[in-house]
Amino acid sequence: MQILYIKHQSRYSTQSTTMDDYLRLVTYGSAAIMGAYVVGTAFYSPKLDSIPAVGPSGIFSSYIGAYRYLRYGKDMIQEGYEKYRVFRVPLIHRWDVIVSGSKLVEELRASKEEDLSIREAFNEILQTNMTMGPNILGNPYHISVTRVGMTKNLDLCFDEVRDEIEHTFADHLALEGNEWKAIPAQATVMQVICRTSNRLFVGLPLCRNRDYLNLNFEFTISVVVAAQLINILPGFLRPIAGPWISPLKKYLRRADQHLSLLVTERVRMEELGNDYEGRPNDLISWLLDVAEGEERTVPALVQRILVINFGAVHTSANTFTHALFDLAAFTASFQEMREEAEQIIKEDGWTKVAVGKMHKIDSFLRESQRYNGNSITSMGRKVVKPGGFTFSDGTTVPAGCFVNVATGPTHHDPDIYPNPDEFDALRFYRMRNEDDEEGNIRHQLVATNLDYLPWGHGRHACPGRFFAGTMLKTMLAHIILNYDVKLEDEAAGRPPNQWFAAICIPNGSANVLFRKRQF
């Protein structure tokens, strides 16, 4: 899950009063609360002494470390990775434990929900019970709908996905003649992703409604900001102030204006069973295939659609913005990818099967996620086992602490990926071809393993990655086949990333130049 897009907010939305309110709340609120909180928690120290700390670890000096971590998280995690298998880094309100190496990562993957909980981790980081509603974690049926229903229907929905990609790019690029045109990368990708995803979620015409798209962008940001705020409150204040801080009610009301008629009608149609003629093949149907009891009510379905947008849009948009900068900056394989895509489409037509065969584009996106993931830690879990969780090396992480994997340093470890700091677009393409039949699967974009963790790994690995993978590959192929792309400032190179602790956000203000394909 992505944290903090506050800075970019104004560009996504014309209605930024809400965000201004939140920003003010955050700035003044957090200053006051922090003072009280620092004093209140300075004396609370979980039994972490046996785990080495990166940065100062004194009761007060660790707060300096926490501010360093916000700015230089990348360096601190790299330092920890080089020195230790298990270490901890200071956050403002807690320590995070970070593990690395296939042995320990495998133990984290294999752990049980009763020992290392992803639900409790989400609930603490995002305050899910308050910001999205307690039924989301209580009955997380949208996860299986995403993994099974959405993935299964991708074949049938492919033409719509592609249609929306074509339309959105045409609308947002609006190229004329053969001139280069500067396009704001992040804001444009955001629109394309949100529209394309919602073509599949709620269909036309709603997926092109400006306010509906904006409310989905804003909901994500508001939830993240609200969760941060709730998190720095002292525990006893959370249940009191939390519901008031939570943006959920407001966004449900706003989403209702767009969705309630549509969803009401769809729920009514289901009274005849789920095989009536003309039943749309979209997320609403896939939810209705599984939802039971209370979850079949209109408000609950609207809420679920918001939550899926939360999980889908910013993650995919940031991933693709990184990839677009890579495409413009690392041009060595551009022509090869174009030729491969062209050849395959000539043989198979513009189908999902064809996209599945575009191994060079697949490799490019996999390399882009390796090179710059959305986060340099992943697989966050909260220790819920009463006595703490003990790894095979003897390290015990106390209950209540968070464990993460040092994803970024793993992805840049020269023992795992030769020349790790070089963007090698066809790295995974070659690995696929060199390897046996199984390797053909092992190195594709959506495959996870102990050395490749942008989607997480194991039981909880991102259930949306099959959809995301197909959508992102189709977008990249569409760009490569129809446009020429380059950096606005070639001398300056790839626009620098923005860091917030472990979160790596592609530059929010940089442009990429587009023109109609010339050759």
Ligand X SMILES: *[C@@H]1O[C@H](CO)[C@@H](O)[C@H](O)[C@H]1NC(C)=O
Which residues sit in the known binding site? 462
Q: How far apart are CA 242 and CA 247, in angstroms?
A: 10
Number of residue whose CB is nearest ligand HEM: 464
CB of 384 closer than 8 Å to CB of 116: yes
Q: Which is nearer to ligand X, 1 or 450 (CB)?
A: 1
**Residue 16 has which token pair?**
């930024």
308 binds, among ligand HEM, ligand X, none (CB under 5 to 8 A by kind): ligand HEM
Q: How far apart are CA 237 and CA 243, in angstroms?
A: 11
Residues in contact with ligand HEM by CB under 6 A are 118, 142-143, 146, 308, 311-312, 315-316, 319, 374, 378-379, 454-456, 460-465, 467-468
Q: How far is the CB of 252 from ligand X (least distance, A)?
A: 17
Q: Which is nearer to ligand X, 101 or 380 (CB)?
A: 380
Q: Which is nearer to ligand X, 213 or 510 (CB)?
A: 510
Q: How far is the CB of 235 from ligand X (least distance, A)?
A: 11
Number of residue whose CB is nearest ligand X: 138
Q: How far is the CB of 40 from ligand HEM (least distance, A)?
A: 30
Binding site as annotated, residues for heme: 462
Q: How far apart are CA 253 and CA 211, in angstroms?
A: 13
Q: How far is the CB of 175 from ligand HEM (least distance, A)?
A: 26
Residues in contact with ligand X by CB under 6 A are 123, 129, 134, 137-138, 489, 495-496, 498, 507, 509-510
Q: How far apart are CA 144 and CA 146, in angstroms?
A: 5
**∠ CA 52-58-60, rounded to 5°:** 140
Q: Which is nearer to ligand HEM, 142 or 199 (CB)?
A: 142
**Residue 246 has which token pair?**
């939570």
**Residue 299 has which token pair?**
């408000």
| Location of structure tokens 């519901």 | 243
Any residues with CB less than 8 A from the CB of 19 and at least 6 apart, and which?
6, 9, 10, 13, 218, 221, 222
Q: Which is nearer to ligand X, 134 or 234 (CB)?
A: 134
Q: Which is nearer to ligand HEM, 135 or 264 (CB)?
A: 135
Q: How far is the CB of 144 from ligand HEM (least distance, A)?
A: 9
496 binds, among ligand HEM, ligand X, none (CB under 5 to 8 A by kind): ligand X
228 binds, among ligand HEM, ligand X, none (CB under 5 to 8 A by kind): none
Q: How far apart are CA 364 and CA 366, in angstroms?
A: 5
| Location of structure tokens 């129809």 | 482
Termini Cα distance of the chain: 40
495 binds, among ligand HEM, ligand X, none (CB under 5 to 8 A by kind): ligand X
Q: How far is the CB of 456 from ligand HEM (least distance, A)?
A: 3
**∠ CA 16-259-205, rounded to 5°:** 85
**Residue 96 has which token pair?**
């995070």
